[in-house]
Amino acid sequence: MIGLDSNILVRYLVQDDPAQSPKAARFLNGLTKADPGFVSAVALAETVWVLDRSYHFTDGEITATLEEILQTDGLRVEHADEAFTAMALLKAGQGDFADAIIGAINASAGCSRTLTFDRKALRLPGFEPL
């Protein structure tokens, strides 16, 4: 298994770099369930952030992209269940992906709540103000 940085995923997803995008596509298309690439929760959150901030993907486009990543046999996603939960919350308009996956991972780890100063995150289940 080989770990993937967010820039590999972004180059593959947006196909905007004539040198790097084809390399990313060749590599990712060669991954299999038996020999997958590993996507950490941090790399996944960073990918979403870049797609939102730099490429102006809509929430709908981001959730479709997340579904594609999470269902790709050649990728193993860290905290995949929590990423699905975060994706569903994003799709429902309850908050952003990074906050949602933080809350989902914290809940999975047995945290009774997640404290925050972020007012937008307070719309997510399990978040409380400090």
Q: How far apart are the first and last CA of the chain?
A: 40
Q: Which residues have CB under 8 Å from 88's CB, separation 6+?
A: none
pLDDT reported for residue 86: 94
pLDDT digits (tens, 9 = 90+) for 68-112: 999 999 999 999 999 999 999 988 888 899 999 999 999 999 999
Domain count, the chain: 1
Structural domain span for residue 62: 2-129
pLDDT digits (tens, 9 = 90+) for 30-51: 999 999 999 999 999 999 999 9
Q: What is the pTM of this model?
A: 0.91
* Phi-psi domain of 78 (left: phi exceeds 0; alpha: psi -120 through 50; beta: other): beta
pLDDT reported for residue 122: 93
Nearest to 94 by CA among 63, 49, 54: 63
pLDDT reported for residue 93: 85
pLDDT reported for residue 21: 97
The answer on pLDDT for 57 being more than 90 is: yes
Beta bridge partners of 37: 2, 75
CATH code of the domain in which 53 resides:
3.40.50
